[in-house]
Amino acid sequence: MNTLRTTRGLLIDLDGTLYHGKHMIPGADILIRTLQSREIPYLFVTNNSSKTPEMVAAHLNEMGVPADKEKVCTSSLAAARYIAEESPGARVAMLGEDGLRQALIEEGLKLVDDSPDFVVQGIDRSFTYDTLAQAVRWIREGARSVLTNPDLLLPSDHGLVPGAGSLGAAIEAASGVKPVIIGKPSSHLMKYATDRLQLSPTEATVIGDNMRTDIAAGAAAGCQTILVLTGLTTESNLQMHVDAAGISPDIICRDLTELTQLLCP
């Protein structure tokens, strides 16, 4: 395993890395407080497209992990920035929830119900057949398709439920058009986050529990990667996930205590 190279900023995953649902993973609060005391730059980076940065920060604070909205990067924020850079003030049809809506508005994009330049889709728990038909029609007529994140399943209080990627798969199948994917494992979200820190990707380190999203996205962007065995990837299934991802993390930490000691010796 490689040793930690100099890093100027950290991109930290949330679910599975700092918490499981409503429960903080042991050591998450100490990790963040230590980074703050050492003045090490970091951002929370999540594929979650439904929540606003304020909502994400509130969730962390409720569990005892110090957070403020300025430290939060979501796939919705990155998707809105991508569209605004491609076409400032574009007409956008949105299939999503509060986090995506707020991000699009804050980027100066115009939310419309007809003749959009872009169709952007995230998790949308009010998704219907009519929604699917409308989105497909717009895309077939020339609107560009953007998917906030490709997660097929999401954890819920009732087990796993379909995620944004499952809805996106239906839109892609019917339209015949592959969307631009923003969230992990795409490098777009990482590029957005490193831009926020005013760093090049090679100066940043991605920390996460998922080989096929967090670590794959970090590697695709050119970041250093640290896998923590706190969530999806464990000591028992590590090799399976490494084989499936087709890459290896630069560093592996068993838990957040080991990670804290590595980053702040």
Check pLDDT > 80 for residue 3: no
pLDDT 10s digits, 169-221: 999 999 999 999 999 999 999 999 999 999 999 999 999 999 999 999 999 99
- What contacts 90, CB < 8 A, 6 or more positions away? 83, 84, 109, 110, 117, 118
- Give yes or no: 29 in active site: no
Is pLDDT at 157 greater than 80 in this prediction? no
Q: Are strands 204-208 and 9-12 parallel, antiparallel or unpaired?
A: parallel
The residue-averaged pLDDT of 69-98 equals: 98
Mean pLDDT of the chain: 95
Told to judge if 13 belongs to the known catalytic residues of this protein, a careful annotator would answer yes
**CB of 88 closer than 8 Å to CB of 108:** yes
User: Is 106 within 8 Å of 86 (Cβ atoms)?
Assistant: no
Whole-number pLDDT of residue 232: 87
Whole-angstrom Cα distance, residue 117 to residue 83?
A: 10
Query: What pLDDT does 2 receive?
Result: 60
Give the model confidence (pLDDT) of 109-152 as tens digits. Answer: 999 999 999 999 999 999 999 999 999 999 999 999 999 999 99
* pLDDT > 90 fraction of the chain, expressed in percent and rounded: 89
Share of the chain above pLDDT 70, in %: 99
Contacts of 151 (CB under 8 A, 6+ apart): 47, 163, 164, 165, 183, 213
Question: In what order do the strands lie in the sheet containing 110-111?
Answer: 110-111, 91-95, 118-121, 144-147, 180-181
Asked whether residue 156 carries a pLDDT value surpassing 80, the answer given is no
Q: For residue 226, what pLDDT is reported?
A: 97
* Residue among 69, 77, 71 nearest 50 (CA): 77
Q: Is the pLDDT of residue 236 over 70?
A: yes
Residue 102: pLDDT band (50, 70, 90) is very high
pLDDT at position 216: 95
Residue 119 pairs with which residues in a beta bridge?
Answer: 93, 145
Closest by CA to 237, choosing from 216, 212, 262, 261, is 212
Q: What backbone phi and psi angles, to 5 degrees, belong to 144?
A: -80, 140
For residue 52, what pLDDT is reported?
98
Going through the chain in order, the beta strands assigned E by DSSP cover 9-12, 19-20, 23-24, 42-46, 72-74, 91-95, 110-111, 118-121, 144-147, 153-156, 159-162, 180-181, 204-208, 224-228, 251-253
Q: How far is CA 200 from CA 6, 104, 193, in A?
A: 13, 25, 10
| Catalytic-labelled residue, pool 15, 117, 124, 151 | 15
The per-residue pLDDT for 12 is 98
Question: For residue 146, which of 113, 189, 114 has the smallest C-alpha distance?
Answer: 189
Least confident of 60-74, 83-97, 154-168: 154-168
pLDDT value at residue 54: 98
> pLDDT at position 42, please?
98
Residues in the chain: 265
Question: pLDDT (tens digit, 9 = 90+) per residue, 30-72?
Answer: 999 999 999 999 999 999 999 999 999 999 999 999 999 999 9
Q: Select the more confidently predicted residue: 241 or 2.
A: 241
Distance CA 226, CA 12 (A): 10
* Cα–Cα distance, 218 to 195 (Å, whole number): 14
